[in-house]
Chain A
Amino acid sequence: RKEVEQDPGPFNVPEGATVAFNCTYSNSASQSFFWYRQDCRKEPKLLMSVYSSGNEDGRFTAQLNRASQYISLLIRDSKLSDSATYLCVVNRGGYQKVTFGTGTKLQVIP
């Protein structure tokens, strides 16, 4: 089983739709969680950190479920500019032990 698993997609959604991605992780000692965005083989950029209480940034909401060992990202009112690959990132515990998921591709269509 991979340490961090994501559905690769692609998720094709119309503009204005709400879309949700999940990411599961296998190491229960994992400490920190993030969502990064990557455009077309460019460098990944931090979208948001994921906190235990859940957090929201505009149209984006991130949730953490430690009991079931997954994190989620919800995008409301999808824009064409949201088209990208979304990477789930988990700090597995210990210093500098970071694992990236393989990414979920989102395509927002007009």
Chain B
Amino acid sequence: EAQVTQNPRYLITVTGKKLTVTCSQNMNHEYMSWYRQDPGLGLRQIYYSMNVEVTDKGDVPEGYKVSRKEKRNFPLILESPSPNQTSLYFCASRVPGTGGYEQYFGPGTRLTVT
């Protein structure tokens, strides 16, 4: 089954404790992206990757890091989480290109930073 998986699905952590949210896709997509979703603000892009070892900032990259060592995996790293990073996070993947293509989203990771 074609899918995007994220782990963990739920996480409660404390300020400053480094964490990683994993994302993996089995569709051989070159393009992957991370979003956060907050009430009233919609989905906002954090980082995206056009291929292995190629990443770039989205609209809200501060406080986040990513890496793309393999095509299927695109982890999101919070080196020092803060309460304002409490949010619902989605990973997505799609075929590359500048046109319109369907994005496939993971099930989401609900993060709470206290």
Measuring CB to CB, which residues of chain A are less than 8 angstroms from any residue of chain B?
4, 8, 31-34, 41-46, 49, 87, 91, 94-96, 98, 100-103
Contacts and interface: CB of A to CB of B under 8 A. Distances in A.
Contacts of A41: 37, 88, 108
A46 B94 CA distance: 12
A44 B105 contact: yes
Interface in B68-114: 88, 90, 98-100, 102-103, 105-108
A34 B100 contact: yes
Interface of B: 31, 33, 35, 37, 40-45, 48, 50, 56, 88, 90, 98-100, 102-103, 105-108
9 contacts: A41-B88, A43-B105, A43-B107, A43-B108, A44-B90, A87-B42, A96-B56, A96-B98, A100-B42
A94 B98 contact: yes
